[in-house]
Amino acid sequence: MKKFSILIIDIVDSRNLENRTQVQNRFKQAKEELSNKFSEEQFVSPEIIRGDELEAGHLNPAISYQFYRELSRRLYPVMINAGIGIGTISTRKDRPILEMDGPAFHRARFAVEKAETEVTNLVIRSNQEAEDKVLNIILNLICLIKNSWTARQHEIVNYYLSKENITQTEIAYEFDISQPAIAKTLSRTNVRHLEEANETIKQRMSDLID
Protein backbone atom coordinates (compact mmCIF):
# COMPACT_ATOMS: atom_id res chain seq x y z
CA MET A 1 0.00 0.00 0.00
CA LYS A 2 1.06 3.56 -0.67
CA LYS A 3 2.80 5.37 2.18
CA PHE A 4 2.33 8.98 3.21
CA SER A 5 4.04 11.41 5.55
CA ILE A 6 2.19 13.01 8.47
CA LEU A 7 3.68 15.97 10.31
CA ILE A 8 2.42 17.03 13.74
CA ILE A 9 3.78 20.25 15.27
CA ASP A 10 3.13 21.56 18.76
CA ILE A 11 4.16 24.97 20.14
CA VAL A 12 6.23 24.40 23.28
CA ASP A 13 4.62 25.63 26.52
CA SER A 14 2.16 27.72 24.50
CA ARG A 15 -0.25 28.40 27.35
CA ASN A 16 2.44 30.23 29.29
CA LEU A 17 3.51 32.52 26.43
CA GLU A 18 2.97 36.17 27.31
CA ASN A 19 2.19 37.00 23.68
CA ARG A 20 0.24 33.82 22.93
CA THR A 21 -2.30 35.48 20.62
CA GLN A 22 0.45 37.11 18.57
CA VAL A 23 2.33 33.80 18.31
CA GLN A 24 -0.85 31.99 17.23
CA ASN A 25 -1.39 34.59 14.50
CA ARG A 26 2.18 34.12 13.26
CA PHE A 27 1.63 30.36 13.40
CA LYS A 28 -1.51 30.66 11.28
CA GLN A 29 0.14 32.97 8.75
CA ALA A 30 3.18 30.69 8.42
CA LYS A 31 0.88 27.70 7.92
CA GLU A 32 -0.93 29.42 5.07
CA GLU A 33 2.27 30.55 3.36
CA LEU A 34 3.95 27.15 3.64
CA SER A 35 0.79 25.35 2.53
CA ASN A 36 0.83 27.44 -0.64
CA LYS A 37 4.55 26.89 -1.13
CA PHE A 38 4.30 23.10 -0.85
CA SER A 39 0.79 22.71 -2.31
CA GLU A 40 1.89 20.30 -5.03
CA GLU A 41 3.48 17.98 -2.46
CA GLN A 42 0.61 17.83 0.04
CA PHE A 43 -2.32 15.45 -0.34
CA VAL A 44 -4.47 17.33 2.17
CA SER A 45 -4.56 20.88 3.49
CA PRO A 46 -2.82 21.40 6.86
CA GLU A 47 -4.99 22.34 9.82
CA ILE A 48 -4.31 24.07 13.13
CA ILE A 49 -5.96 22.63 16.25
CA ARG A 50 -6.74 24.79 19.30
CA GLY A 51 -4.39 27.45 17.95
CA ASP A 52 -1.24 25.65 19.11
CA GLU A 53 -0.97 22.38 17.17
CA LEU A 54 -0.71 21.68 13.45
CA GLU A 55 -1.24 18.56 11.36
CA ALA A 56 -0.06 18.33 7.75
CA GLY A 57 0.09 15.53 5.20
CA HIS A 58 2.66 15.24 2.42
CA LEU A 59 3.46 12.81 -0.35
CA ASN A 60 7.17 12.89 0.50
CA PRO A 61 8.63 12.93 4.05
CA ALA A 62 11.39 15.26 2.86
CA ILE A 63 8.72 17.93 2.31
CA SER A 64 7.39 17.38 5.83
CA TYR A 65 10.92 17.96 7.08
CA GLN A 66 11.32 21.11 5.01
CA PHE A 67 7.93 22.36 6.21
CA TYR A 68 9.07 21.83 9.82
CA ARG A 69 12.40 23.60 9.28
CA GLU A 70 10.85 26.65 7.66
CA LEU A 71 8.10 26.92 10.25
CA SER A 72 10.67 26.64 13.02
CA ARG A 73 12.68 29.51 11.53
CA ARG A 74 9.60 31.69 11.13
CA LEU A 75 8.46 31.22 14.72
CA TYR A 76 11.88 31.62 16.39
CA PRO A 77 12.50 32.34 19.28
CA VAL A 78 9.28 30.46 20.05
CA MET A 79 10.13 26.75 20.12
CA ILE A 80 8.19 23.88 18.58
CA ASN A 81 8.19 20.11 18.98
CA ALA A 82 7.39 17.95 15.99
CA GLY A 83 6.92 14.38 14.89
CA ILE A 84 6.93 12.92 11.39
CA GLY A 85 5.16 9.61 10.91
CA ILE A 86 5.56 7.62 7.71
CA GLY A 87 3.14 4.87 6.74
CA THR A 88 -0.24 4.04 5.33
CA ILE A 89 -3.56 5.82 5.93
CA SER A 90 -6.65 3.74 6.63
CA THR A 91 -9.29 6.41 5.90
CA ARG A 92 -10.30 8.12 2.67
CA LYS A 93 -7.92 10.82 1.41
CA ASP A 94 -10.68 13.27 0.48
CA ARG A 95 -11.50 13.95 4.13
CA PRO A 96 -10.10 16.86 6.16
CA ILE A 97 -6.86 15.83 7.83
CA LEU A 98 -8.43 15.94 11.30
CA GLU A 99 -10.84 13.17 10.21
CA MET A 100 -8.10 10.88 8.88
CA ASP A 101 -6.44 7.99 10.70
CA GLY A 102 -3.98 5.16 10.20
CA PRO A 103 -0.43 4.03 11.01
CA ALA A 104 1.16 7.24 9.64
CA PHE A 105 -0.89 9.30 12.12
CA HIS A 106 -0.17 6.95 15.02
CA ARG A 107 3.56 7.13 14.33
CA ALA A 108 3.49 10.92 14.02
CA ARG A 109 1.67 11.22 17.37
CA PHE A 110 4.16 8.86 19.02
CA ALA A 111 7.04 10.85 17.52
CA VAL A 112 5.86 14.30 18.65
CA GLU A 113 5.23 13.00 22.18
CA LYS A 114 8.72 11.49 22.21
CA ALA A 115 10.20 14.80 21.00
CA GLU A 116 8.93 16.39 24.20
CA THR A 117 11.34 14.21 26.20
CA GLU A 118 14.31 14.20 23.79
CA VAL A 119 17.25 16.53 23.12
CA THR A 120 15.92 17.21 19.65
CA ASN A 121 12.70 19.03 18.79
CA LEU A 122 11.87 16.58 16.00
CA VAL A 123 11.51 12.81 15.96
CA ILE A 124 10.95 10.63 12.88
CA ARG A 125 9.15 7.29 13.01
CA SER A 126 8.49 4.83 10.20
CA ASN A 127 8.35 1.04 9.97
CA GLN A 128 12.13 0.92 9.38
CA GLU A 129 13.60 1.00 12.88
CA ALA A 130 17.26 0.98 11.87
CA GLU A 131 16.84 3.90 9.46
CA ASP A 132 14.78 5.82 12.02
CA LYS A 133 17.63 5.43 14.51
CA VAL A 134 20.19 6.87 12.08
CA LEU A 135 17.98 9.82 11.16
CA ASN A 136 17.14 10.64 14.76
CA ILE A 137 20.80 10.52 15.78
CA ILE A 138 21.62 13.06 13.07
CA LEU A 139 18.71 15.23 14.22
CA ASN A 140 19.99 15.05 17.80
CA LEU A 141 23.44 16.22 16.71
CA ILE A 142 21.98 19.10 14.68
CA CYS A 143 19.90 20.18 17.66
CA LEU A 144 22.90 20.06 20.01
CA ILE A 145 24.87 22.32 17.67
CA LYS A 146 22.01 24.79 17.30
CA ASN A 147 21.46 24.88 21.06
CA SER A 148 25.00 26.23 21.41
CA TRP A 149 24.21 29.29 19.27
CA THR A 150 23.54 32.70 20.73
CA ALA A 151 20.28 34.49 19.95
CA ARG A 152 22.18 36.75 17.54
CA GLN A 153 23.68 33.76 15.72
CA HIS A 154 20.19 32.26 15.38
CA GLU A 155 18.91 35.48 13.85
CA ILE A 156 21.74 35.72 11.33
CA VAL A 157 21.60 32.05 10.31
CA ASN A 158 17.80 32.06 10.03
CA TYR A 159 17.97 35.14 7.83
CA TYR A 160 20.72 33.61 5.69
CA LEU A 161 18.75 30.37 5.18
CA SER A 162 15.51 32.20 4.39
CA LYS A 163 17.00 34.16 1.49
CA GLU A 164 18.00 32.33 -1.67
CA ASN A 165 21.38 33.31 -3.16
CA ILE A 166 21.92 36.14 -0.70
CA THR A 167 25.49 37.40 -0.27
CA GLN A 168 27.35 37.93 2.97
CA THR A 169 27.62 41.63 2.11
CA GLU A 170 23.82 41.87 1.86
CA ILE A 171 23.42 40.11 5.21
CA ALA A 172 25.97 42.44 6.77
CA TYR A 173 23.98 45.45 5.53
CA GLU A 174 20.76 44.02 6.98
CA PHE A 175 22.32 43.51 10.42
CA ASP A 176 24.51 46.64 10.30
CA ILE A 177 27.74 44.73 10.89
CA SER A 178 30.80 43.95 8.78
CA GLN A 179 31.01 41.23 6.14
CA PRO A 180 33.91 39.53 8.00
CA ALA A 181 31.67 39.35 11.09
CA ILE A 182 29.02 37.57 9.02
CA ALA A 183 31.62 35.18 7.62
CA LYS A 184 32.81 34.40 11.15
CA THR A 185 29.26 33.76 12.34
CA LEU A 186 28.47 31.40 9.48
CA SER A 187 31.74 29.57 10.10
CA ARG A 188 31.33 29.27 13.86
CA THR A 189 27.77 28.02 13.54
CA ASN A 190 28.85 25.31 11.05
CA VAL A 191 26.06 26.26 8.66
CA ARG A 192 27.64 24.60 5.63
CA HIS A 193 28.00 21.27 7.44
CA LEU A 194 24.51 21.50 8.89
CA GLU A 195 23.04 22.08 5.45
CA GLU A 196 24.93 19.05 4.15
CA ALA A 197 23.43 17.04 7.03
CA ASN A 198 19.96 18.37 6.22
CA GLU A 199 20.32 17.33 2.59
CA THR A 200 21.31 13.85 3.75
CA ILE A 201 18.25 13.70 5.99
CA LYS A 202 15.93 14.71 3.15
CA GLN A 203 17.39 12.11 0.80
CA ARG A 204 17.13 9.30 3.36
CA MET A 205 13.61 10.34 4.27
CA SER A 206 12.57 10.25 0.62
CA ASP A 207 13.84 6.67 0.48
CA LEU A 208 11.48 5.71 3.34
CA ILE A 209 8.45 6.27 1.15
CA ASP A 210 9.53 3.84 -1.57
Q: What is the CATH number of the domain that holds 121?
A: 3.30.70.1230
Q: Are residues 17 and 116 in the same domain?
A: yes
Among residues 6, 33, 35, the alpha carbon closest in space to that of 93 is found at 6
- The reported pTM is 0.95
Q: Containing H/E element for 44?
A: strand 42-49
Q: Are residues 57 and 98 in the same domain?
A: yes
Q: Are residues 16 and 64 in the same domain?
A: yes
Q: What's residue 36's pLDDT?
A: 97
Q: What's residue 26's pLDDT?
A: 96
Q: What's residue 119's pLDDT?
A: 78
Across residues 78-87, what is the average pLDDT?
97
Average pLDDT over all residues of the chain: 95
Domain assignment present for 94: yes
Q: Are residues 118 and 16 in the same domain?
A: yes
Q: Are residues 159 and 118 in the same domain?
A: no
Q: Are residues 82 and 178 in the same domain?
A: no
Q: Are residues 122 and 155 in the same domain?
A: no
Domain housing 180: 151-188
From first CA to last CA, the distance across the chain in angstroms is 10
Among residues 82, 121, 125, 123, the alpha carbon closest in space to that of 103 is found at 125
Q: Are residues 79 and 122 in the same domain?
A: yes
Express each pLDDT in 145-202 by its tens digit. Answer: 999 999 999 999 999 999 989 999 999 999 999 999 999 999 999 999 999 999 999 9
**Domains of the chain: total:** 2
Selected residue with higher pLDDT from 67 and 1: 67
Domain assignment present for 201: no
Which residues pair with residue 6 across a beta bridge? 57, 85
